[in-house]
A = this chain, B = another copy of it.
């Protein structure tokens, strides 16, 4: 079933992503081209407050041209452990620190054209502090109930895979 790489051409190396186009040999001996985006990987944090609210941030996303509501998330620095990144991104975007981070799942966002992986963590026992966003990052902090999360999915303000996945995981744990 494997596709054998015949050649690989790097088209663009950016700050965040790299684009390459590979020529591959298919299982039937034919050839095809594959457009591949490489990405450093990311973490996302499902942080639950003591009064059972999910910590989310509202931010503008240029690829979508609009503002959406997401769980805190961010890219891995080179060599950074995902769990360390989870603590760092949670504090940068929301100010919250926490002692424990539980791994929920790791997932590829777009396996057809990208190698981006997101490691989803869950935490509670949050300690409030001051947010420290990156200089090109503007986020608004919100705390939502499970019903509000469902409404935001229905209204389309929550509309990204990692956040919908986190809301579903939260609903599943709320029922056990």
- Shortest C-beta distance, A73 to chain B (Å), equals 8
Chain B: CB-nearest residue to A165: B165
Known: A12-B12, A64-B108; 6 extra A-B contacts, CB below 8 A, are A1-B58, A14-B21, A63-B111, A106-B156, A109-B110, A168-B169
Binds B, one of A48-56, A80-88, A94-102, A113-121: A113-121
B-chain residues with CB within 8 Å of residue A151 when the two chains form the complex: none
Bound complex: CA A62 to CA B35 (Å): 9
A78 within 8 A of B: no
Q: Quick one: which of A1-43 are within 8 Å of B by CB?
A: 1-3, 11-12, 14-17, 19, 21-22, 24, 26-28, 30, 32-39, 42
B37 & A17 in contact (Cβ 8 Å cutoff): yes
B19 & A12 in contact (Cβ 8 Å cutoff): yes
Query: In the complex this chain forms, how many copies of it are found?
Result: 2
A62 & B168 in contact (Cβ 8 Å cutoff): no
- Shortest C-beta distance, A141 to chain B (Å), equals 13
Q: List 18 A-B contacts (CB under 8 A).
A: A2-B67, A11-B11, A14-B21, A36-B62, A37-B114, A61-B108, A63-B108, A63-B115, A64-B108, A68-B108, A70-B111, A105-B153, A107-B161, A109-B161, A111-B160, A118-B161, A168-B168, A172-B172
